């Protein structure tokens, strides 16, 4: 029997060998993994570099993503296996959908889409809540070769309009409402306003009427979902090229115009199928849960496509980590559906920790089925990782990726070569990603030195090949700063073992009297205080030092805000970061402003503090949070202008 030390060394050696293979022989490496997918035409050209830096994978391959995610499991005799566990604490509904039932629903909706004029290559915008029909809609588009673009349900009309104008959809699929703990959110008026604002006009909208709130349909344009689908024929799947787009997912652009990240069919299917086993240790018949929303990349990759591609069961959860009904909600779902691997954002765990610092609500449930918890979506501070591990008694795996990459860049590969966990690091680069840390002129920095995190080209399969209709913007946004590299936009460092530490966005590096410091390091230290549930640190302008760090902290339930707390927090930073940090600005706030996906709006708060014009982001979860931040900044003498 091998010792733990020998196992770690063997895994390290195996991982290094795989990284070398993927870097030096990418065609052979990914050609082998392409066997995870059923092809109509098996690709012979694995990596097409003829139009570099616009690389393409499996360029002569032909397949269908919907077939691989649904039909092939039914054909293999697994039709009775559960594909989707739908759990909606906000409506009290629960439903389990088998692969055979999913195949029927997808084929019928696909037939309806074809009747309405959507065909191979057409785009379809999906503006819907977390319901089974949303998953069916995505798969139905994939079935007929249409390109779906999911817009987060409840997005403001102006933001939806910009996406409609860019994607130019043949159809829009929507619902009468979404449901939040506070009540219903009417989608139809937002859709109507977006279509009134957009230059592009759609022929039809298919509207799912939810019983909680009915929508008034516009004659001739709007069609009732149930009536239209029930009368439609079943549509068979259509072969598409591996390089044909599967979907467009919009992410914020610095110019204000959203960037349409493109995901292809072939590379996407191969990468996700491989990652389910290697990263998340999930195989056919297991239950996987990503507590996200289908409007975000996590929902695309790991609520819908990833689990279904490998024949697993996925959980579709219409609820929150707290308040639906309490902070034990996640643990209840894990126990009920026997979830093997669970994926959520650090901010969700911080919300649970804030409401229930001892984790008593979570401990009410038996989560022995769980093998590991995976955190991503934002930087995971060590305190949150350790608290989560203590409460659930399971390994907590931080991993790092982006909307643009579609799957993890760095991760501790639990299904392949598990390594020791280092709190604060998403571990090492996954084979296929050659991650480097560069200085301002593009030279690699030494271990433990901070710089810009970049990935040497070509990116592996499943990552964005370009932006929708705009190759040049893709090059300008991601490939131009360091030729031969993809710029992640993040800053951090690699340690002596090759573990990456992602400390902040590049624009979250602050300059204090000539010292370049990461706001992520400050947050890491402040989060250690036993009273702190969440923290955000921003750089504010200072005439003497250039910039100063300013800390905004949210306290755990029952903690007291007083001068002693401020002094303790300042002392903690002085002790662990040093006097060079000049940390003296800290205040308690009730909540931090976040996007609906859980990212803290540090850039917006920085603009507020420096009295720069602020436009409230369309993705903000609670606009009132900005008013609380403004009051907190004013207490420290910053951000006296009102927010527009």
The 3-class secondary structure across 224-275, one letter per residue, is EHHHHHHCCCCCCCCCEECCCEEEEEEECCCCCCCEEEEEECHHHHHHHHHH
Cβ–Cβ under 8 Å, residues 264 and 467: no
For helices 624-635 and 602-609, the axis angle rounded to 10 degrees is 40
Distance CA 271, CA 405 (A): 10
User: 507: how many CB neighbours lie within 10 A of its CB?
Assistant: 14
Q: Mark residue 626 as left, alpha or beta (left: phi above 0; alpha: psi -120 to 50; beta: remaining).
A: alpha
- How many whole angstroms separate alpha carbon 35 and alpha carbon 39? 9
- Residue 255, pLDDT score: 46
**Tens of pLDDT along 283-319?**
999 999 999 999 999 999 999 999 999 999 999 999 9
| Chain Cα centroid distance, residue 627 | 27
CA distance 30 to 21: 10
Residue 57's beta-bridge partner residues?
47
Helix (H), strand (E), coil (C) string for 359-377: CCCHHHCCCCCCCEEEECC
- What are the φ and ψ backbone dihedral angles of 156, each rounded to 5 degrees? -60, 150
Give the model confidence (pLDDT) of 578-627 as tens digits. 777 789 999 999 999 988 777 788 888 888 888 888 877 777 888 888 88
From CA 617, how far away is CA 252, in angstroms rounded?
10
DSSP 501-536: EEEEEGGGEEEETTEEEEHHHHHHHHTTSTTEEEEE
Contact predicate 409/301, CB 8 Å = no
What are the tokens at 370?
Answer: 């769980």
Q: How far from chain centre, in Å, is Cα 136?
A: 20
DSSP 41: B
- 480 token code pair: 């131009």
What is the Cα–Cα distance from 360 to 352, expressed in whole angstroms? Answer: 10
Pairing of strands 259-264, 287-290: unpaired
Q: Which residues of 129-161 are buried (b: 16+ CB within 10 A; e: fewer)?
A: bbbbbbbbbbbbbbbbbbbbbbbbbbbbbebbb
For the entire predicted model, the pTM comes to 0.86
Share of residues in the chain with pLDDT > 90 (%): 77
Q: Do 151 and 250 contact (CB within 8 A), yes or no?
A: yes
Mean pLDDT of the chain: 93
State residue 254's pLDDT score.
46
| Structural domains in the chain plus CATH codes | 20-319+399-492 (3.40.50.12780), 513-635 (3.30.300.30)
pLDDT, position 390: 97
Q: What is the pLDDT of residue 32?
A: 97
pLDDT lower than 70: segments of the chain: 1-3, 252-256, 513-516, 640-644
* DSSP secondary structure letters along 81-100: SEEEEEEETTTTEEEEEEHH
> Is the CB of residue 593 less than 8 Å from the CB of residue 629?
yes
**CA neighbor of 171 nearest in space, from 149, 146, 204, 194:** 204
């Amino acid at each position: 029997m091998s010792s733990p030390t020998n196992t770690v060394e063997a895994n390290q050696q195996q991982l290094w060998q795989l990284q070398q293979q993927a870097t030096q022989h990418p065609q052979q490496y990914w050609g082998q993994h392409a066997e995870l997918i059923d092809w109509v035409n098996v690709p012979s050209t694995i990596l097409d570099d003829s139009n570099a830096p616009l690389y393409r994978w499996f360029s002569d391959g032909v397949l269908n993503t919907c077939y691989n995610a649904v039909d092939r499991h039914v054909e293999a005799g697994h039709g009775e296996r559960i594909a989707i566990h739908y759990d909606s604490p906000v409506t009290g509904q629960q439903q389990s959908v088998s692969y055979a039932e999913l195949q029927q629903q997808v084929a019928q909706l696909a037939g309806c889409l074809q009747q309405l004029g959507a065909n191979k290559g057409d785009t379809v915008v999906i503006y819907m809540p977390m319901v089974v029909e949303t998953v069916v809609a995505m798969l139905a588009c994939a079935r007929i070769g249409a390109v779906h673009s999911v817009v987060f349900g409840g997005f403001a009309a102006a933001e939806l309009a910009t996406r409609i104008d860019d994607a130019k959809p043949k159809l829009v699929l929507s619902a009468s409402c979404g449901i939040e703990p506070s009540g219903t959110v009417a989608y139809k008026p937002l859709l109507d306003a977006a279509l009134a604002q957009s230059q592009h006009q759609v022929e039809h909208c298919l509207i799912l009427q939810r019983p909680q709130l009915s929508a008034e349909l516009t004659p001739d344009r709007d069609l009732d979902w149930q009536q239209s689908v029930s009368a439609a024929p079943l549509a068979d799947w259509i072969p598409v090229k591996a390089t044909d787009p599967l979907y467009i997912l919009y992410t914020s652009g610095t110019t204000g115009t959203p960037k349409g990240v493109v995901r292809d069919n072939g590379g996407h299917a191969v990468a996700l199928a491989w990652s389910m086993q290697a990263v998340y240790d999930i195989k056919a018949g297991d239950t996987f849960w990503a507590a996200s929303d289908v409007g975000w990349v996590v929902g695309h990759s790991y609520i819908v496509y990833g689990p279904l591609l490998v024949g697993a069961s996925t959980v579709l959860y219409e609820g929150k980590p707290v308040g639906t009904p309490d902070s034990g909600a996640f643990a209840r779902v894990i126990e009920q559906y026997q979830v093997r691997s669970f994926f959520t954002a650090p901010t969700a765990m911080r919300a649970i920790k804030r409401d229930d610092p001892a984790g008593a609500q979570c401990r009410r449930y038996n989560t022995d089925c769980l093998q590991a918890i995976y955190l991503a979506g934002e930087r995971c501070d060590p305190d949150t990782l350790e608290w989560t591990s203590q409460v659930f008694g399971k390994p907590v795996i931080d991993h790092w990726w982006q909307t643009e990459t579609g799957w993890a860049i760095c991760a501790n590969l639990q299904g392949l070569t598990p390594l020791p966990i280092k709190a604060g690091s998403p571990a090492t680069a996954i084979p296929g990603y050659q991650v480097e840390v560069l200085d301002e002129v593009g030279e690699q920095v030494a271990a433990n030195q901070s710089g810009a995190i970049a990935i040497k080209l070509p990116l592996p399969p499943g990552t964005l090949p370009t932006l929708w209709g705009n190759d040049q913007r893709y090059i300008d946004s991601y490939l131009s700063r360091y030729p031969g590299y993809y710029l992640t936009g993040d800053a951090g460092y690699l340690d002596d073992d090759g573990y990456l530490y992602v400390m902040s966005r590049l624009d979250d590096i602050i300059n204090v009297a000539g010292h370049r410091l990461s706001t992520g390091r400050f947050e890491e230290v402040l989060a250690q205080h036993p009273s702190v549930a969440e923290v955000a640190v921003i750089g504010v302008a200072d005439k003497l030092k250039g910039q100063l760090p300013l800390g905004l902290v949210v306290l755990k339930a029952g903690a007291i805000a007083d001068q002693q707390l401020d002094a303790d927090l300042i002392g903690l930073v002085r002790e662990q970061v040093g006097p060079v940090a000049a940390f003296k600005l800290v205040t308690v706030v009730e909540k931090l402003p976040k996007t609906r996906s859980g990212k803290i709006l540090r850039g917006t708060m920085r603009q507020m503090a420096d009295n720069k014009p602020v436009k409230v982001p369309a993705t903000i979860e609670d606009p009132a949070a900005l008013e609380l931040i403004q009051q907190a900044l004013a207490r420290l003498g910053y951000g006296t202008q009102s927010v527009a």
